C-alpha cells in the first residue's frame, strides 16, 4: 500500500516511516501541510497519516481538503488524546484518530484497516495454483512451504495475486510497492521479480508480458 506520512518533527517522521516500511508499506514523507497537499495532487495514496499541528498549512485544513476530495483515507495523529480533540478531528473528515504516544502495532493495524477500506474488497487470503498469500499475517506459502520474502517481494506478489491473472505494469508495481524516491528508470522491479521467481521455484508462476508488465500465469 502507498502511504503519505505528514509529520513536521523529522526524527519522529524518520522513525515512523522506517517502521511502516518494515511492515511492507511504501512511504512518502511530507514535513508541512503544503507539501502534503502537493504530493496528494500527484500520487494516489491509500492512506495519509497526518499530524494535526503542522506548519505552513495546518493539519486541520489539510484534513478538511483531503476529506473533500474523497479519494484517500486520513489517519490523524495528535499530541492530545482528549475526547474533544478526537471529536474535532473526526468532524473535520478524518477516518480515524490516534493520540501520541501510541503503540506502533496499533498504528500499523489502523493504517492497514484504512487501506482495506480505500480499495476494492478481496478475499482475506489470496491464492493461485499452489501459492497462498495472507496479507494480514504477512505470510506466503507455495505447496505448503513457507517462503521468506522481502517486503518488496511480498508486495509484488500480493499485487499480482490480487490482479487475478490480469497484467500489472511495472509502473503500477513501482508506484504501489516502492515510494517517491524510486527512480522511474530503475530496474528495481525487474530485479525484484527475478528474485521472487527464484524463491517461488518451479514451475514458474510469474509471467513477463513483453512491453506490458507481469501477471500470474493462468
Architecture, CATH, for domain 2-118: 3-Layer(aba) Sandwich (3.40)
- pTM (two decimals): 0.62
Q: pLDDT: is 179 or 78 the higher one?
A: 78
Report CA 58 to chain centroid distance, whole Å: 24
Q: Are 23 and 152 in contact (CB under 8 A)?
A: no
Residue 199 pLDDT > 90: yes
Q: Are 128 and 216 in contact (CB under 8 A)?
A: yes
Could you tell me the residue ranges of all domains in the chain? 2-118, 126-216
Tens of pLDDT, residues 7-29: 999 999 999 999 999 888 889 99
- The candidate with the shortest Cα–Cα distance to 45, out of 23, 81, 71, 77, is 71
**Burial grade of 151 (CB within 10 A; 0-12, 13-18, 19 or more):** middle
Q: Are 47 and 116 in contact (CB under 8 A)?
A: no
How far is CA 144 from each of CA 35, 47, 81, 130, 203, rounded to the nearest angstrom? 45, 33, 44, 8, 15
As a CATH number, domain 126-216 is 1.10.10.10
Amino acid at each position: 500500500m502507498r502511504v503519505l506520512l505528514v509529520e513536521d518533527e523529522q526524527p519522529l517522521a524518520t522513525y515512523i516511516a522506517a517502521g511502516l516500511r518494515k511492515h511492507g508499506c511504501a512511504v512518502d514523507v511530507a514535513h508541512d501541510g503544503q507539501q502534503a497537499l502537493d504530493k496528494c495532487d500527484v500520487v494516489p495514496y491509500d492512506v495519509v497519516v497526518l499530524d494535526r499541528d503542522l506548519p505552513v498549512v495546518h493539519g486541520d485544513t489539510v484534513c478538511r481538503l483531503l476529506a473533500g476530495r474523497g479519494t484517500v483515507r486520513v489517519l490523524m495523529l495528535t499530541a492530545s488524546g482528549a475526547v474533544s480533540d478526537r471529536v474535532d478531528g473526526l468532524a473535520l473528515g478524518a477516518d480515524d484518530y490516534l493520540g501520541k504516544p501510541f503503540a506502533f502495532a496499533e498504528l500499523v493495524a489502523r493504517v492497514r484497516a484504512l487501506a482495506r477500506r480505500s480499495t476494492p474488497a478481496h478475499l482475506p487470503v489470496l491464492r493461485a495454483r499452489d501459492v497462498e498469500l495472507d496479507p494480514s499475517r504477512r505470510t506466503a506459502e507455495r505447496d505448503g512451504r513457507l517462503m521468506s520474502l522481502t517486503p518488496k517481494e511480498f508486495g509484488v506478489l500480493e499485487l499480482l495475486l490480487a490482479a487475478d491473472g490480469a497484467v500489472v505494469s511495472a509502473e503500477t508495481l513501482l508506484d504501489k510497492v516502492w515510494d517517491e524516491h524510486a527512480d522511474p528508470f530503475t530496474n528495481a522491479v525487474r530485479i525484484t521479480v527475478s528474485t521472487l521467481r527464484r524463491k517461488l521455484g518451479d514451475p514458474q508462476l510469474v509471467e513477463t508480458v513483453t512491453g506490458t508488465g507481469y501477471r500470474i500465469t493462468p
